[in-house]
Structures are given as C-alpha cells and as structure tokens.
Amino acid sequence: MKRPAKSVMTGITALILLLTGFQVALLLARNIFSEADDGGRREESVSRSVPHAKDYGGSPVPAEDSAYRANVSPEDFKPIPINLNRADSVALLDLPGVGPYYASRIIRYRERLGSYAVKEQLLEIRGIDYEKYCRMAPEIEILEEDIHAPDIWSLPADSISSHPYLDAYSARAIVVFRENHPETSWKIDSLLKAGVISERSAAGLKLYFD
C-alpha cells in the first residue's frame, strides 16, 4: 500500500512543477509583449510630437533616428515667401489679413504698375494700412528679375496714362518731351526739372529707373 501512495505523490509533484513552469513561461511572454507594445507607443508619441515638414510646404522631415526628430522644432521650418510679382489670387490668400477682395486688388494694382518694385507699394492700395502691411511684409518677396520698368520712353500717351504714377496730362507731356529732346536726356530727373511730372510721380518712377 505504501508504493501506490508514493507513486501518487510523485505524480502530484510532477504536475505541480509542470503547472509552475507553464505559469512562469506565461508571465515571461506577457512581459515581452508588454515591453514591445510600450516601445511602439513611445515611438508613436515621439513621432506625433515632431512637426511634419509638409505643414510648411515641404517634404517629410529627414531624420536619422527618433532622438533627432524629437529635437526638431517648428522654428527650423520657415514658410516659403510669396513672390509678389508672380503669385496668383489663390496664393495671395495665404497672406495674413488677405481675402479674395484684397487679393484681387493687389493683382489689379500690379497689372497697372507692370510689376512691384518694392513691398511698400502695397501701401498705395486703398484699404491696406500700415498695420495690415506689416503683417504681410515678412511673408512676401520681390525678386529683381521680376521688376519691369514702365515703358514711358516709347509707348503712346494713351498707354502711359494708365500707369498709377502718371495721368493724361503727364503722359502727353512725356511724349512731347521725347519729341523735342535727345535720348541722352530721357531721364526721370529731366522730366521733373522740365515740369513734366510731379515730385510724387518722379519718386515712384525712380523705383524702376536708375
């Protein structure tokens, strides 16, 4: 009778050891999956905290590792300035304080000028005050290659008079001046001295002529 009892005890002990080993294996597996899940969440958290360059008009932020990406700040990405002489009305809507109304006025004035020579010419548009201009100015640019001087030395008076810095009288006077003076004297200062244009007109035209 003693042998069967001993055999039963041995079997119970083996079963207990087997269950214990299974529990240990289960706990290890849970720890492994838990660490993997936490690592994924941490990586996702870092990824979400990093600004994406597409928000600034570019491609995704290049990064060697998550530590580098975590140190990137929005200050490292500046919006591309809007070219005042090439932008269409849709692009101008990205400027602060500019809606469809002012976008169309900026373009119409550009057409009358031929091109903007300096940013400050926006102040000549009715409704754009100094405060509005100061908000727009940092986000626009004017490239020298896009500046085109008004052709006051060859166009007829009717065409010249449409320029914002001139009127019908000045346009006719410029044509008369051209007809009676050599080309070597065709300068803005010469027109001013001859009384053909006003000082205000001369100041505006000098933005385009040396």
pLDDT tens column, 174-196? 999 999 999 999 999 999 999 99
DSSP string, the chain: -HHHHHHHHHHHHHHHHHHHHHHHHHHHHHHHHHHHHHHHHHHHHHHHHSPPGGGGTSPPPP-SSHHHHHT--GGG--PPPEETTT--HHHHTTSTT--HHHHHHHHHHHHHHSS-SSGGGGGGSTT--HHHHHHHGGGEE--GGG-----TTTS-HHHHTTSTT--HHHHHHHHHHHHHS-GGG--HHHHHHTTSS-HHHHHHHTTT--
* Residue 53 pLDDT greater than 50, yes or no: no
Indicate the pTM of the whole model. Answer: 0.63
Per-residue pLDDT reduced to its tens digit, 98-118:
999 999 999 999 999 999 999
pLDDT of residue 79: 77
Confidence of residue 146 (pLDDT cuts 50, 70, 90): very high
